[in-house]
C-alpha cells in the first residue's frame, strides 16, 4: 500500500542546476486546524528489522540506522533514485541523508551508473595498480590545496586511523588533540568524547579502548582556541597533531569561525605539530576544493571519503609530499589495503568529481540548500518553536534551541525529544531526515525547487502537529 504523501516531480533531462530558477518562499501561513497525520505503513520494514535483530548486533551494521534516538523502527530501503528513496512498503520519501553524504549528484545517477556498468565488464577488483587511481589522484591533487600526494583506502575510518599513525610517525610524538563531539571513525584513539552514533546512543567513551590509548588523546572545545593552547602548554613537545572536522557534521551542523581555524594553523606551526582537516564529510561537498578552500586555511594533512567514491566504499588521506613520503613503500610507516584504489570506486569517484566540476554545480547546491533551511526554520518559528541552524553549500542542519550553537556543549541544549517527534512527523509526510538531532543533512544536484517547496510545506504541517 502506498502512502499518501509528497510526490514532487523532478526535472528530466538536464541537471537541475542548469534547468531551475529560484522561487521565493511565501510568508507566514495561518493555521486554523491541525490535520491528522498521513498514515505511514511500515509492516514489511518491521518484519525485516525484527529478523535482522537476530542476525546483526542491534539489527543494523551501523548504530545510527537503528532509530534509537528518534523512536520507532528503522525504515528499510528497497531502492533509491535521484533525490528519492523508496522503502520495502512502497513508501516514497524526499531524501536528505544521501547515504550520509556521498550521493551529492543524486542517487543512482545515470552517468555514474553508466561508467560503473562499463567498468564491471573489465573487472571489479584488481589488487594491482590501475590507471584509474592516477586519474582520480590528479583530480584530488588539483582541487584540494593541502594535497600534493594522496593514498586511497576503503573508508573514512581507515583514512583517519591511517593519518593518525602518520602524524605520529612524522613528528615522533604520541599525543593528539581532537575536539569534543567530533567524530573521526571508530579507531580506538578517536572514541574519546566522540560524536555521531556515540552521541546518538548516549554512550560513554567506548569499552575496549585501552587506558594507555585513551591517555594519548587530548580533547579540546570546538571554536575555543584557548582550550587548544592550554593543552599544548601542558604537554610541551608531546603533541603530534590536531585533527578536526572543519565544519562539524557529527554532533549536528556546527560552523567554525575563521579566526578559530586560522588560530589552529598558527599554533600547530609554532608547536611543530601537524594540522589535519577531516574532510570525509565536507570534502568536495561545501566547495570544489573542500572546506579548506572555502575558509582559506590550508592544513598539513587531509582525510577524505564519501563524495570521492560516488556512493561506493572509499576513503583517502593526503597532504604535503614530505609527510606523505613517510607512507610505505616510499617510507617506513606501514599501511595497506586489499581493495584500496579498486577500479569501481575510482570510476564512480572520477565521474562524480567530473559532474561537480561543471559550471554552476556548487552555486546550485548553495541556493537550493539555503532555501530549504531558511524555509524549515521559518516554518518552525511560525508555530512557536525555538530553532537555530544554517548551511554551507549542500550541507545543512538545525537544532531545537535558541542558539547559537558553536560547539558540542552548546548542542546539548537542543530539545532531542522534540526532534524525535519532528522526525517521525516528517516521515509521515514523506521526508527522510537523518534519525538523530546530532547529524547534518545533505542535499544533492538532483533535488529540485519542487522538492524544497514540498519539504517546507511538510515541515509546516509537522510543526503544527508537534
Each residue's pLDDT, cut to its tens digit, for the chain (466 residues) gives 334 344 333 333 344 454 343 333 334 444 446 677 788 999 999 999 999 999 999 999 999 999 999 999 999 999 999 999 999 999 999 999 999 999 999 999 999 999 999 999 999 999 999 999 999 999 999 999 999 999 999 999 999 999 999 999 999 999 999 999 899 988 878 877 655 555 444 444 667 888 788 889 999 999 999 999 999 999 999 999 999 999 999 999 999 999 999 999 999 999 999 999 999 999 999 999 999 999 999 999 999 999 999 999 999 999 999 999 999 999 999 999 999 999 999 999 999 999 999 999 999 999 999 999 999 999 999 999 999 999 999 999 999 999 999 999 999 999 999 999 999 999 999 999 999 999 999 999 999 999 999 999 999 999 999 9
Compute the distance between CA of residue 29 and CA of residue 39 in angstroms, rounded to an integer: 24
Compute the distance between CA of residue 44 and CA of residue 58 in angstroms, rounded to an integer: 18
Secondary structure (DSSP) of 319-341: E-HHHHTTBTTTSSB----TTTT
Strand partners, 219: 178
In the block, cell 498514515 appears at 39
Compute the distance between CA of residue 146 and CA of residue 133 in angstroms, rounded to an integer: 19
Helices then strands (H, E): number in the chain? 16, 14
User: pTM value?
Assistant: 0.90
Q: Mind telling me the catalytic residues?
A: 183, 278, 306
Kindly tell me the sign of the dihedral angle through the C-alpha atoms of 440, 445, 449, 451.
Answer: negative
- φ, ψ of residue 127 to 5 degrees: the values are 65, 25
Compute the distance between CA of residue 107 and CA of residue 100 in angstroms, rounded to an integer: 12
Chain centre distance of CA 243: 16
Q: Which three cell numbers stand for residue 297?
A: 586555511
Q: Which three cell numbers stand for residue 177?
A: 588533540
Taking residue 159's Cβ as centre, other Cβ atoms within 10 Å add up to 29
- Sequence-distant (6+) residues with CB within 8 A of 24 are none
Q: Which three cell numbers stand for residue 188?
A: 580506538
Taking residue 293's Cβ as centre, other Cβ atoms within 10 Å add up to 17
Q: What's the confidence (pLDDT) of residue 455?
A: 98
Q: Which three cell numbers stand for residue 445?
A: 544536484
- φ, ψ of residue 151 to 5 degrees: the values are -120, 125
Q: What's the confidence (pLDDT) of residue 188?
A: 79
Kindly tell me the sign of the dihedral angle through the C-alpha atoms of 134, 140, 143, 145.
Answer: negative
Q: What's the confidence (pLDDT) of residue 203?
A: 47
Compute the distance between CA of residue 116 and CA of residue 298 in angstroms, rounded to an integer: 33
Q: Which three cell numbers stand for residue 392?
A: 554551507
In the block, cell 578559530 appears at 260
Compute the distance between CA of residue 376 and CA of residue 389 in angstroms, rounded to an integer: 9
Contact 432, 85 (CB under 8 A): yes
CA atoms within 13 A on the CB side of 309: 25
Angstrom CA distances, 252 to 78, 125, 187, 408, 437, stand at 27, 36, 21, 8, 6
Contact 272, 250 (CB under 8 A): no
Q: Which three cell numbers stand for residue 339?
A: 581493495
Amino acid at each position: 500500500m502506498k502512502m499518501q504523501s509528497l510526490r514532487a516531480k523532478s526535472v528530466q533531462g538536464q541537471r537541475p542546476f542548469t534547468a531551475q530558477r529560484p522561487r521565493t518562499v511565501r510568508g507566514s501561513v495561518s493555521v486554523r486546524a491541525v490535520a491528522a497525520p498521513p498514515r505511514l505503513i511500515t509492516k514489511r520494514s518491521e518484519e525485516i528489522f525484527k529478523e535482522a535483530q537476530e542476525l546483526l548486533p542491534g539489527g543494523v551494521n551501523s548504530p545510527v540506522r537503528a532509530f534509537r534516538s528518534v523512536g520507532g523502527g528503522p525504515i528499510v530501503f528497497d531502492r533509491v533514485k535521484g533525490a528519492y528513496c523508496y522503502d520495502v512498503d512502497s513508501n516514497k520519501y524526499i531524501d536528505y541523508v544521501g547515504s550520509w553524504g556521498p550521493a551529492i549528484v543524486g542517487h543512482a545517477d545515470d552517468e555514474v551508473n553508466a561508467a560503473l556498468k562499463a567498468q564491471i565488464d573489465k573487472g571489479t577488483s584488481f589488487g594491482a595498480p590501475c590507471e584509474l587511481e592516477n586519474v582520480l589522484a590528479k583530480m584530488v591533487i588539483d582541487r584540494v590545496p593541502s594535497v600534493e600526494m594522496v593514498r586511497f583506502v576503503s573508508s573514512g575510518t581507515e583514512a583517519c586511523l591511517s593519518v593518525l599513525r602518520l602524524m605520529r610517525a612524522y613528528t615522533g610524538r604520541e599525543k593528539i588533540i581532537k575536539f569534543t563531539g567530533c567524530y573521526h571513525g571508530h579507531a580506538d584513539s578517536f572514541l574519546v568524547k566522540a560524536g555521531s552514533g556515540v552521541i546518538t546512543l548516549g554512550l560513554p567513551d567506548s569499552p575496549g579502548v585501552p587506558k594507555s590509548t585513551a591517555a594519548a588523546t587530548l580533547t579540546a572545545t570546538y571554536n575555543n582556541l584557548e582550550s587548544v593552547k592550554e593543552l599544548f602548554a601542558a604537554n610541551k613537545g608531546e603533541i603530534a597533531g590536531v585533527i578536526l572536522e572543519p565544519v562539524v557534521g557529527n554532533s549536528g551542523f556546527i560552523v567554525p569561525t575563521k579566526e578559530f581555524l586560522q588560530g589552529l594553523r598558527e599554533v600547530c606551526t609554532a608547536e611543530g605539530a601537524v594540522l589535519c582537516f577531516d574532510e570525509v564529510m565536507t570534502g568536495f561537498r561545501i566547495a570544489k576544493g573542500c572546506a579548506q578552500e572555502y575558509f582559506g586555511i590550508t592544513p598539513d594533512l587531509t582525510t577524505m571519503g564519501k563524495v570521492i567514491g560516488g556512493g561506493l566504499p572509499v576513503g583517502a588521506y593526503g597532504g604535503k609530499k614530505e609527510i606523505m613520503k613517510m607512507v610505505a613503500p616510499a617510507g617506513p610507516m606501514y599501511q595497506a589495503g586489499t581493495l584500496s584504489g579498486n577500479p569501481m570506486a575510482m570510476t564512480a569517484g572520477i565521474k562524480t568529481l567530473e559532474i561537480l566540476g561543471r559550471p554552476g554545480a556548487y552555486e546550485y547546491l548553495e541556493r537550493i540548500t539555503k532555501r530549504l533551511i531558511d524555509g524549515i526554520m521559518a516554518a518552525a518559528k511560525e508555530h512557536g518553536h525555538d530553532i537555530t541552524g544554517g548551511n554551507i553549500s549542500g550541507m545543512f542542519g538545525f537544532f531545537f534551541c535558541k542558539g547559537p550553537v558553536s560547539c558540542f556543549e552548546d548542542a546539548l541544549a537542543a530539545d532531542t525529544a522534540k526532534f524525535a517527534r519532528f522526525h517521525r512527523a516528517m516521515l509521515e509526510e514523506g521526508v527522510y531526515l537523518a534519525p538523530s538531532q546530532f547529524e547534518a543533512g545533505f542535499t544533492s544536484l538532483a533535488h529540485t525547487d519542487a522538492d524544497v517547496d514540498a519539504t517546507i510545506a511538510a515541515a509546516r504541517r509537522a510543526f503544527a502537529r508537534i
